[in-house]
Chain A
Amino acid sequence: MQLVRKKSGWLVSGAVIAAACCACTWAAPPRANGGNGTTDIPGALPGIHLVSPVPDGQWTLPGGDYANTRYSPLAEINTSNVQNLKVVATTATGIDHGHEGQPLVVNGTLYMVTPFPNNLIALDITKPGFPRKWVFRPHPDIRAVGVACCDIVNRGASYADGKVIYATLDNHVVAVDANSGEKVWETPVGDIRYGETTTMAPLVVKNVVFVGNSGGDLGVRGKLTALDVKTGKVLWTAWSTGSDQDVRIGPGFHAFYPKDRGKDLGIRTWTPGQWKLGGGTVWGWISYDPELNLIFYGTGNPGVWNPDMRPGDNKWSCTIWARDPETGYAKWAYQVDAHDGWDYDAVMENIPVDMPWQGRQRKLLLHPGRMGFMMVLDRETGEVLSAEKFEPVTWANDYNLKTGLPDENPDKRTHFGHYTTDICPSSTGAKEFVPSAFSPRTGYLYIPAHNTCMDYEGTEANYIAGTPYLGASVRMYPGPGGYQGELVAWDVEHAKKAWSVKEKNFPVYSGVLATGGDVVFYGTMDGWFRALDAHSGKVLWQFKTASGIIGDPITFLGPDGKQYVAIYSGIGGWMGASDFPSISSDDPYATRGANGAMRDIKAYTRPGDTMYVFSY
């Protein structure tokens, strides 16, 4: 530890800031968790302003910073030397299931949360080979495995207040002392008997831990829970369906579009009682804008998949929220897709960025949507400023920015007993939850994209607690154009694709990292870890890992002053589950239809459990 402090002054300041944060009140100016406390990015394009200090050296939050930018200003690894990267450490978790999410790096320690049983592994990055310091084992209830919809994944932890905080599959939020590995508190926030699980990475803003639930395919009622970072006490719960009181809509709420206004829409936009099984789970990423003091997140698909079984707009499924982090009350909401018939969850990351937009400086919220449209919103009001397709889309032609409604193609609406074909994108989306990255040096959002389409038939479903509540027979297949995946560099200001790298065989199912060295990192489902030139998309370096990559790359400074890059290699998750021995490739309807698009995966890579760390 002494070595750490001697060689990297920033770590000391980071620790001081983190310590200072413990004493923060809500009125105090927000400070970064960890980072160097600056939003002044060297080389940022004129007018581009990041609202959250970027992770300079450590990686303390799931998305690196509050804004989920996944941008690191570290530039030791850059376009001229990235080809020298080599493996410096590997660690196996021993669990051959999907390794989603990303590790944290704080004060000379790297923390990784494993898939179920959700162990927290601490590695000492001050020593060669990153030896293990300790392992915390929460021993979650094994029955959670049977109700997890899409593999037994976990998307990571947040560091705050000297604790590493994450959620177990059986819905317990645990806070572990970052030094000793001892449990500080543990709070159950859900019930597996109703099919509820927790897979997302909590976000900690000052003294509040935010965590949502999973289980939208099992009729689970979605919610966001806020807990006290010191004690784990539940402060409030904001449900995704139900009365305005349950949803935490109060006098301060103002939706930009009339379609999202009205009393108790979380009940009235459903057939009686259906809202109790209404989904809208919160399993993606939460972001925070310290300047506006708002958190942003999206809700998932409505429960049951078959739309004819739930007439109405089904609020507040598939909705983007802006809420006060202290009270949980909503400032605005925008339902991306009313009465969803395709499983187009709106849980994708929402990235707050200030930048010039059509000649004027705006406070934007970037939301690369699962439904295939790159949404740009005004994050103060919830107004949609732009919605452009970034992959083939057939369910809608475009969005009407005046009404906020998509111009739907009625032929692609799904119905009970009707086989609707050639719906693009498929349920897994033009992009899954896997997060994009934004570089203020290029103004590009780097989107890990999919090009899959589907046939969809609404079928009868019965609600049986703890079992899937689908009512849909789905078969996916590659979309037009001869590729299934694409890393898209999206020029935000001009609302168009700048360049892209196409992946022929499989969707891009990994997160993305952008750096101050103008390098963009991402992984492929067949195991390649690639580094691109952030400006041109040229592949500068690549390394074949043992398994498919569905995790998110991070970068950090070691105690030796060198820059490191880390990535999980372990295929799984919804689409990657097709690689498991328990899935037969001759049923394209298996794994909710994803198996149709993924049936070749076993020929390319097999399940794995390894974290790779690279340096030069």
Chain B
Amino acid sequence: MSSATRFLAQAVLGCGRTLRSAAPLLAVCVASCICAAGCNSGARSVAASSAAPVPTAVGPVPGAASEPLHRTDPFAGDAVAAQNGWRLFNWYNCSGCHGGHGGGSMGPSLRDKVWLYGSSDDQIFDSIAEGRPKGMPAWGAKIPEDQIWQLVTYIKTMRTPGEPDPPNEPANEQTPDPDNNERMMVGTQPAR
């Protein structure tokens, strides 16, 4: 098995979780896996620099990654962490931008199945930590890593039975949802 094939196999393994949910995500996953490989390679170069100068790689490089390609949410599926995430979602004014229960406002909805920067745990983590164009602040230097993961935990519960305090309306006011086709069925939910 060539190193490139090994890399691809690992990438697919790393993405297995999202593979279950939706095929289009595969492309995103593979792209980001390649990116991750490049980053890891860069990190090795820095580590080695005290011994001897090593050229810094720019962009994806062939070869197997030495670390897991995706970090996963350490709190995944933890109901208490999801509840904390919901509290933090309001505390840090996420709800002001993304809507009271993540349905969108100044910023895009987090409840739909459109993920501009990826739906995997680490991609959502990075969106929060690093910020995104057109308004998403970079929170990585402002709030602890555990809290970012709890936000990820909460976001991943949206539109699932595990969602803390879901935005239910009183039964007598419920009407059919006009964009019902946008609603995610359990089978297409990103894996938790």
List A residues at the B interface (Cβ < 8 Å). 142-143, 145-150, 217, 459-462, 464, 466-470, 473-475, 477, 577, 580-593, 595-596, 599-603
Contacts and interface: CB of A to CB of B under 8 A. Distances in A.
Contacts of A474: 100
Interface string B87-102: 0001111011101111
Interface stretch (B19-27, B50-58, B69-77, B173-181): B173-181
A400 to B, nearest CB: 35
Contacts of A600: 175, 178
A587 B107 contact: no
Given A468-B96, A473-B100, A593-B100, A587 B167 contact: yes
A587 B104 contact: yes
B111 interface: yes
A433 B51 CA distance: 66
Contact of A460 (B91, B114, B137, B175): B91
26 contacts: A142-B133, A142-B134, A145-B135, A146-B107, A146-B135, A464-B137, A467-B137, A468-B106, A470-B93, A474-B100, A577-B104, A581-B114, A582-B104, A584-B112, A586-B167, A587-B101, A589-B103, A590-B99, A590-B100, A590-B103, A590-B105, A590-B109, A591-B104, A592-B96, A593-B100, A603-B178
B104 A468 contact: no
Contacts of B136: 146
Contacts of B111: 584, 586-587
Interface SS of A by simple majority:
loop
Nearest to B93: A467
Nearest to B142: A464
Interface residues of B, number: 37
B100 A143 contact: no
A583 B93 contact: no
A473 B93 CA distance: 11
Given A590-B104, A590-B105, A583 B99 contact: yes
B183 interface: yes
B108 interface: yes
Contacts of A464: 92-93, 137, 142
Interface of B: 90-93, 95-97, 99-109, 111-112, 114, 133-137, 142, 159, 167, 169, 173, 175, 177-179, 182-183
Given A462-B91, A464-B93, A590-B109, A585 B177 contact: yes
Contact of B169 (A475, A591, A592): A475
Contacts of B92: 462, 464, 467
Given A143-B134, A469-B96, A583 B103 contact: yes
B93 to A, nearest CB: 4
A146 B103 contact: no
Contacts of B99: 583-584, 587, 589-591, 595
A467 B137 CA distance: 8
Nearest to B165: A473
Given A585-B179, A586-B111, A602-B179, A148 B100 contact: no
B104 A583 contact: yes
Given A467-B97, A468-B96, A583-B108, 5 more contacts: A143-B135, A584-B102, A589-B101, A589-B103, A596-B169
Contacts of A599: 175, 177-178
Contact of A584 (B95, B96, B104, B135): B104
Contacts of B96: 217, 461, 467-470, 592
| Centre residue among B96, B100, B107, B183 by max chain A CB count within 10 A | B100
Contacts of B173: 477
A596 B105 CA distance: 12
Contacts of B90: 459-461, 473
A468 B93 contact: yes
Contacts of A143: 134-135
Contacts of B106: 146-150, 468
Given A142-B133, A145-B135, A588 B169 contact: yes
